[in-house]
Amino acid sequence: MRDRMKLSRSSKVLLCSLAGILGLALGSCSGGGGSGGLQRPTTVTMVGTVDDGTSLSPIGHAICHFVQSDGTQGAEARADGSGVFRIQVSPGLQGFLHCTPPGFLQLVLSTFVSTVGRRAGETIPATGYEEVSPRTTVMATVIAQEQPVDPQARKDALFAALARGDPALTALVEAAVILFLPLQEAGLDVVFDASTADEGSAGGDSGGNSADGGAEGAVGDGAEVSPIPNARCAFALQLQGDVFVPSVLSDLFTHGRVTRPDVQGIAGQVNQALAGRATAITTAFATLFPTGLGSPLQTVATGADARYFLPVPAGVPGFVRCTPPDRAQLVLATFVRARQAGEVLTEQDVTPATTVFSAHIATLLAADLPTTEDNYVADIAGLHVGVMQTNGDITGFTMENVANLRDVGVSWVAFAATSLYTTLWKRALNADYLSAVQGLIVQANVDPTPLAANPGVSPQQAEAVAATVNDAINAAAQQVGANPQMVVSTAHLDVRVQAQGSGTSLPGVTLALLETGSLLQCVNCPARTNQDGEATLTLVGVPRDRATAVTLSASLAGLQDTTVTTAIVTVAKVPVHITLPR
């Protein structure tokens, strides 16, 4: 019976041809095995092309995948050498096609697509190709941001507006085209499409993990009361700047030019091409994206240790800021150095001690912050802050493990900042902590008047906080033999001297501070470098509220004398590298 059911070769060819005309699929037409029965198609075929937006510039072998509007991952396809791809999508779905050049993960181009109202077996578009390019990425981002009731109609309207020369859409599309190709040619794998940075994150949060790396740490008050559960953490380029948005399009559209530090290699080329367009771009951005572009880089610290992870981009230094969930003014911060691609920066803890560095040192000092931060962390390593309580109310603090501290004075500042924060937090006072800790360093004590200026903080509460903290830090200063006024007026220079050419460390080099014309002086100058070519200079009388430029001279018999000017900040140990020529 089975033999009688077999089709002749000519019959099979005819049946396969009919199946193609009718939009059906026949298993025996595929050339493989199987029962030879007739199978109905279940998907819609999308045919598209990936292009960098310039003339005749397809992106060959791009990898494309479909993502439904609810974030569900769909089919994937690889384009051929001409950038043409075919991808299978079930009928009745809508979402985005995301395509990346080969070797890239984040440099995504996108377009909105829909199979709503389409039948299985159809190919769309009926003629031509579905375009995936920088210009469709801008339009897809508009759709993702607006979330219109009928996204396909919005897409059609955007294409029509672009064809008419709509000034706002044209300005953004042209800027995106100018930016994309240099990024690709330079191999800069950064987030291009803002909507892809949001996928898989609930409520715009960016926590979890990232194959490309990021920064992680714990959030706590730095005392025995730690951690701070459910702290809200965000990444920003500046301590009090806007929360960072990963897409480079956001940077371009916000400023009308490229400003991000991780793409400075192509910034000159792109900004020159965009010369004279900044106003048009920023105006168009405000028109089409009134609430901004993409989700900010933020998350919630979770678990027993209140830990966070943020996928901060490679090559971008900045600050992680964290606040308790109900105290937006109690901001803690830590400086995060620029990381390498694929690197996860661990132990980026956010505490009052790290806030001292972020709010005081990093905001005033521009050069070599990573090394200066390492010096600061080493100076306070091992500091323990004990908490005294009566019936659950904090009554005082103790500075512990003093004998093992590298720099007692710097540790005292970290102790004072911790005492202040913990008192405010545990007494549920929503005061401006960043300003308070800056004032603490300038005055060497807590002034209740600025605290009382915060809404919800009464003069009596501010006085009580100041009394608790000042009593504790004054007692600690007596304990360790420190003069608070002297401590907050002291800075250090960590000097290393090498020979020009060979890079050999030079011992016995005489270091001196040149005349400053102020109260600032070096207490151990002239100093000589040790056998490793290193010396630490202690400077007192340093202004507390700003960076100060100082000039050092370095001399050694047989080599040319050299002078170096650098900036110093109180509480910081600033690295200085000097090279002596022959």
Instruction: Tell whether 183 is covered by a domain.
Output: no
* Same-domain check for residues 241 and 277: yes
State the alpha helices, DSSP H only, in 147-277: 151-164, 167-186, 194-198, 248-255, 264-273
Which stretch of 142-151, 178-187, 517-526 has the lowest confidence by average pLDDT? 517-526
Instruction: Tell whether 482 is covered by a domain.
Output: yes
More confident residue, 293 or 218: 218
* Same-domain check for residues 136 and 223: no
pLDDT, mean of residues 34-48: 77
Q: Looking at 487, 519, 539, which one is the last position of a domain? A: 487
* Same-domain check for residues 474 and 532: no
Instruction: Tell whether 172 is covered by a domain.
Output: no
pLDDT, mean of residues 309-324: 95
Instruction: Tell whether 356 is covered by a domain.
Output: no
* pLDDT band with cut points at 50, 70 and 90 for residue 9: very low
More confident residue, 211 or 146: 146
CB atoms within 10 A of CB 24: 17
What's the CA gap between 415 and 399, in Å, rounded? 7
State how far the alpha carbon of 564 is from the alpha carbons of 183, 296, 370, 425, 578, in Å: 38, 41, 20, 44, 7
* Same-domain check for residues 505 and 473: no
Q: Looking at 487, 510, 531, which one is the last position of a domain? A: 487
**pLDDT score at 205:** 54
Q: What percent of the chain has pLDDT over 90?
A: 81
Instruction: Tell whether 209 is covered by a domain.
Output: yes
For residue 210, pLDDT beyond 50 = yes
pLDDT, mean of residues 176-190: 95
**pLDDT score at 31:** 38
For residue 129, pLDDT beyond 80 = yes
* Same-domain check for residues 48 and 25: no
* Same-domain check for residues 477 and 498: no
**pLDDT score at 211:** 57
In terms of Cα–Cα distance, which of 109, 147, 157 is closest to 131? 109
* pLDDT band with cut points at 50, 70 and 90 for residue 16: very low
* Same-domain check for residues 395 and 266: no
* Same-domain check for residues 287 and 428: no
* Same-domain check for residues 18 and 49: no
For residue 3, pLDDT beyond 50 = no
* Same-domain check for residues 507 and 474: no
Which stretch of 55-64, 459-468, 513-522, 549-558 has the lowest confidence by average pLDDT? 513-522
The pTM for the full model equals 0.84
- How many domains does the chain fold into? 5
Instruction: Tell whether 169 is covered by a domain.
Output: no
* Same-domain check for residues 258 and 273: yes
State how far the alpha carbon of 251 is from the alpha carbons of 246, 269, 347, 469, 572, in Å: 9, 16, 28, 42, 32
* pLDDT band with cut points at 50, 70 and 90 for residue 8: very low
- As a whole number, the mean pLDDT across the chain is 89
What's the CA gap between 375 and 286, in Å, rounded? 43
CATH of the domain at 538: 2.60.40.1120
CA dihedral angle for residue 268, residue 271, residue 273, residue 279, rounded to 10 degrees: -170
Amino acid at 444: A
Instruction: Tell whether 168 is covered by a domain.
Output: no
For residue 399, pLDDT beyond 70 = yes
Instruction: Tell whether 166 is covered by a domain.
Output: no
**pLDDT score at 29:** 43
Which pLDDT tens digit goes with each residue over 347-388?
999 999 999 999 999 999 988 899 999 999 999 999 999 999
Which pLDDT tens digit goes with each residue over 56-94?
689 999 999 999 988 889 999 999 999 999 999 999 999
pLDDT, mean of residues 235-259: 94
Q: Looking at 429, 463, 487, which one is the last position of a domain? A: 487
Q: What percent of the chain has pLDDT over 70?
A: 90
* Same-domain check for residues 32 and 50: no
* pLDDT band with cut points at 50, 70 and 90 for residue 55: confident
**pLDDT score at 112:** 96
For residue 6, pLDDT beyond 50 = no
Structural domain including 80 reads: 44-157
